Structure 1
Amino acid sequence: MFGTLNYKKQKIIIIISFLLIPLALLATFTYYPALKLIYFSFTNWDGYNPEKPWVGLANYREVFANPDILKVFEHNFAYFAVGIVQNILAIYFAVVLNSKLKGRYFFRILLFLPYIMNGVAVAFMFGFVFDTTGGSLNLLLNSLGLHTLGETSWLGKEGLVNYTLASTGLWRFMGYNMVIYIASLQAIPRDLYEAATIDGANAAQTLWKITLPNMKPVIQLNLFLTVTGALEVFDLPFVLTKGGPAGASQTYVMRVVDTAFAYNNYGLASAMSVVLLLFVIVIVGAQQFVLGRGGKD
């Protein structure tokens, strides 16, 4: 078959052949479900009935008209704020552990290990840490003489619970971000640092003028992951608090899941999912525009 074809045509056929399977899988498990999700968002489907009554934009009007639905996005802000701190710490540890520090490989492994742990297992583990009466955190604070803090209900206070949960994510994902930043640092040519040293630049000037600008694409990637991760948080509050106390830690994705599986309103849940997707696109687009514009200036 290939003997009668020239090299260029053979190359095209081979490339297409290799792409067919991944494209088929992508279409089957990504694009088709996404299109079905959009279709369901215009219906009043209960998840069981074969009939799917068409309701048009009624579900979307419900999403934006019901303040209780969009209000849960406020709970996701804590994860975004802690995620920014997480990236700052990851950059700091990446810079430190990319130097000739003795034992740096051991510390890299030590900081990366939490990432490979199962998310549900981590949630259960921190449930014992944050327990009010016998939790290790309060026991530590009491042993240090901080009795006021040692009586804190970390998962029971409405203004504190989301930041407590988000701190668990910081512990788990900071090492992962650090490894990505270390790879970015190692891709920066050493000649730039040697030239900066010859010109008399100090450590702070080198970090601000050479390191961070060259890490910008990777920082943008991690900020994208931070934004999407903050908007899609589910496992930690679901396992530790079930959205409590009084719904104070319920995230948007938890609200979507409850709408679909607890109230059997798959149409509204689909519309909420599409709205979340649009929010992610808008926020990430704005982020790319701001950071890209800053790079041009």
Structure 2
Amino acid sequence: MDLTGGSALSIALTFAASFVLSYYYHAIGITLGYHRLLTHKALKMPKWLTYLVVSGGYLVLMGGPVNWVGVHRLHHQKSDQPEDPHSPVQGGFKHALYGWMFTMADRQTNEELRRQVPDLLQDKGLCWFGVDHCAEQAKMCLAFCILFRFIILGLFGWAALAGNLVATFLVFWSPQLVNAVCHDKTQGYRLFDTRDESRNVWWVGLMALGEGWHNNHHAIPRSAQHGMAWWEFDVTWLTILFFEKLGLATDVVRPKYPPTRLAKVNASTGKRPLAPAEDDEPVEEPTGVQEAAKIETVVIASAPVVPDVAPVVKEPVGAGER
């Protein structure tokens, strides 16, 4: 069924609607589903909603969620060190953008991948999409993605398919740009003094629905909220708050301190003092979600310019409403 009706206006509206809906569905699948929910356990959602959200990431060529989480947890443990799977500091921009995808089988054995994800290995639904770095699971993901586009074409027509394809292209590259741009010390700015080169980059923050506030994330990795200054727009965080209001997101992890209580720009230097972050490299044992979701404590050193902040804590629904 073609919804365009043939007119230029209807074609344009169908394209625009498909683009917006597809962009949000696929991007939230990565940012909320793969990243903040599965990798960092920043919240809990019902199983049916988890699968629905995660499907958006899978259908934009992110591969099996278990594999994705295993790679990302390794990234946090070895951020910008030689073992980091996609650091521009170690391998350059092209490697961080796309080269790492072709070397993961050599950089992370299947045994090490499984060691990273003991929690997800208990979920048969997620494991069905693959738990190893192998070509077969990548081919299966590609096949499902192609089938999904044929369904869009059959139900809604060419304009809807075109809108989805443009959204797919942009969303696919958004996490790769987080890897490559948001660890480039020549880009963006930092609010926290983390042990890596993570940066906050405004245009990546917008494109990746809040993931571009990457320095904040590396300073407090388990927080469900990445945008912490008033100007750091975080669509994923707003989505989490919406789900929380509906009772569909629980145990949401948030910074204890209000995000507006950041250091003020020093009048003499014109720079914002960095808030020191506790060592954000998770320990090696006993591995799994405890390390990947390790709660960080932000320690404030320069009291005259930076307000005291409290550690990130897990709070029940409704707590932290200010």
TM over 0.5: no
Q: In which range does the TM-score fall when normalised by the shorter chain?
A: under 0.3
- Taking structure 2 as the reference length, the TM-score comes to 0.24
- Taking structure 1 as the reference length, the TM-score comes to 0.25
Which structure would you say has the larger RCO, counting Cα contacts within 8 Å and 6 or more residues apart? 1
